[in-house]
Amino acid sequence: MGEGCLVVAGDLPPEADLSEFERVSVDRREGYAANCVRVNDRVLVAVGFPRFADRLVKLGYDPLPLGMSQFRKMDGGLSGLSLRF
């Protein structure tokens, strides 16, 4: 996510190398939502994960929900489908 913040799925154990980062854990039931991409002031997230989207809003981020159902069928996610420069 940048600015010292990581989104982590499920119960990823703490790693000493990442201890300086704030961790935003995604509920196990919304694990696919952890595959998100921050672009400037927005966070691209898959639609259908309201708990995660609400959490982002509470943290001051502006989520942009996108329909990913067809990509998800083939195990595609936002980070893998993004060209970032």
Place of tokens 């694990």: 31
Domain ranges of the chain: 5-72
Q: From CA 47, how far away is CA 17, in angstroms rounded?
A: 31
pTM equals: 0.77
- pLDDT, tens only, 4-61: 888 888 776 777 777 788 888 888 888 888 888 888 889 988 888 899 999 999 988 9
In this structure, the strands spanning 22-26 and 37-39 are: unpaired
Give the Cα separation of 15 and 61 in Å (integer): 25
